[in-house]
Structure 1
Amino acid sequence: MKLVVRVKLLPSPVQATALEATLQACNRAANHVSRVAFERGIKDRNGLQRLLYADVKSVFGLSAQPTVRAIKKVADAYTALNAQVRKGLLGPTTKRYNAAMSHPIAFRPEAAQPFDDRCLSWQHDARTVSIWTVGGRMKGIRYTGSADQLKMLDQYRKGESDLVHEGGKWFLIATCDVPDPDVAEPVDFIGVDRGIVNLATTSDGTNYQGRGLRRYRNWCARKRAELQKKQTRSAKRRLARRAKKEQRHATHLNHKIAKEIVSVAQRTGRGIAVEQLDGIRDRVRLRRDQRGTLSSWPFHQLGQHLAYKARQAGVAFMEVDPAYTSQRCPRCGHTEKANRPTRDEFCCRRCGLAGPADVVAGVNVRNRARSAWAFVTMPVPSTA
């Protein structure tokens, strides 16, 4: 299992200046490679390296390995763009598609730059790194992080690390290849229903409300509108500082919810089941005033957090068919739209079972996971 560890660098002013100059040089080189790749139609790594290696190395002042990393960054960017086009994520004739395909990919002056072990080395005992810069090898740059992050970094780091400059701070993002624990055979499942009014509701009846997040987002929207209306330099600086604060808040909430659900599942020996919500934004038609809420709500992120935390804890995780989970009676199986007279209430028109609608949906998710797990683990009959 691959996990990402993000540690904060604590460079001196001289070290920070060298790191900034290095990022800018690498991204100038990447923009040059991207223009040539776009004009000549050569977007594979080997072709670009044969064509531009000597030029990039001499013109932009990069040594051998950073030159290779800069060229690979461009090739990876075009590979990702082509994958998006093949999947139809940009649309065939949209403005976004035309903008992406009519110009070479551009890199910001301080865009992240990957470094491999030839350019960057870690001294875990001293908590310092040694990194190549355009001014020479910069040694003894201190870093810090949580105890769990540092332990994982020391034991499982593998591959490249990305140098990131964000909000005036320096970070290194490293990939750790953590061995998967054995998944325990679940005695049952916890069904999790995700939503907007309630971020998550489990089949046990535990409810994680979205009221606080909704109020916070509405407050952020009002503040953004006020600052944008002022059009002053200080207002623009404040907008830049607040740019990702709302996103970090939602991510923090999703981490807390996922951690608690996985902890309960691990303690009780159960698995976790969620609805498979891929393509929900394409299937659901909403009023205009609801579209922004749905498009920005972190459904997928909560599912991702549940999946990787469950995998890390050795807890079984399943995605099940979401069809009619909020309209189906878990006792008699009767499915009808009228079973859910309001958003919060469920009442079966056949057997009279009543309860909170989101809890009923979680129970249906749990029941489907039980059936699916039994089918997956069913022994194959012998043909002998």
Structure 2
Amino acid sequence: MLKIGYVVNADVNDKTQWSGTIFNLYNILSKKYEVDPIVLETKGLDKWFYIKQRLKQILTKKSSTNMMVPYSKLKSKKLTNLLQQSGKKYDILFFPANSVAAAFVNTNIPIIYLSDATFHVMINYYLFNLDERSIENGNMVEKQALVNANQIIYASDWAKNDAINYYGINVNKINVLPFGANLIDKFIKKSFETNKQINLLFVGVEWERKGADIALECLDFLNRNSDSKYKLTIIGLENPGTIKNDHVNFVGFLNKNNQGDYDKLIKYYQDSDIFILPTRAECAGIVFSEASMYGLPIVTYDTGGIQSYVEDEVNGFRLPLEKKGKEFAEKVEFICNDPNTYMTFSKNSRTKYENSLNWDKWLESCDRVIKKCLDD
């Protein structure tokens, strides 16, 4: 059986790592291959670089990043030593979101690097106020990791296009494999009546970036202007104390490592009618795969890698970033004003999940990437 060295920074069973993606990638690869976690625990090194970053932020008012060349070289050296000392033979090294370790590792083992974004597209998108040295170092580490990899997997065309256009990476070694849902499949076929309460679901842990304000505006507009009644459930955020609205349910953070929280999250997906996430920045969005798994039509912004998950006017709508709560409400109403329209969007979401947004489909495509990697 082909043996994969799975290079991570913490326990692969931790479902909070990268929204559960590290855990799910490990498990789906293990269905077909022998997957050996190579855990690069560098707590002392990580702490030292964190203190250095904080001091820079205090003294210069500029942000830094862990994608510094010296840090990357130290991580890569630790990995190189681990590979040499273990005596284990691997057919492939697989790096999920770990360009820092992949950039300078010294090995003849073929490398597959996976990510949902490039460093370049994250500047002033997720990463703000970086100093020039951090930007220069980040781009150097990213470029070296991409050059070092035999094959690259991205979660969206958005990331792929930047790797080609900015870093000049050969298109022949880049593959787009959308992420699956990081929940078990307990789908219950939807039914829909316009005279019942319509349940909106929002899942996100950052108020501003995820657009909680727009979701609340949308809810307010719907309940003031629609014959139907709408309720919004917000998972991942606490009520800041200023929201006085009986139609809003703040659930707070649900930890997927906790079985009770995990089951609650699934129940909210099952009981909801529409998934709304006015996120202003998103590399991929596992939640879109999860919403599609449960047959939820999706209303979101057209940004980042979302295009690979939400097809406009098929399983939902992607709105321009300048649109506000009113426009989100209009799309929700369009979907919900007619049961046949709702059921069409719901079926399309489930079909999108079954055809491309699940880990079994991901594994089929990854198997082809592994074959290409070994043939290089």
The TM-score, its normalising length taken from structure 1, stands at 0.30
When Rg is computed on C-alpha atoms for both structures, the one with the higher figure is 1
More strand by percentage: 1
The TM-score, its normalising length taken from structure 2, stands at 0.30
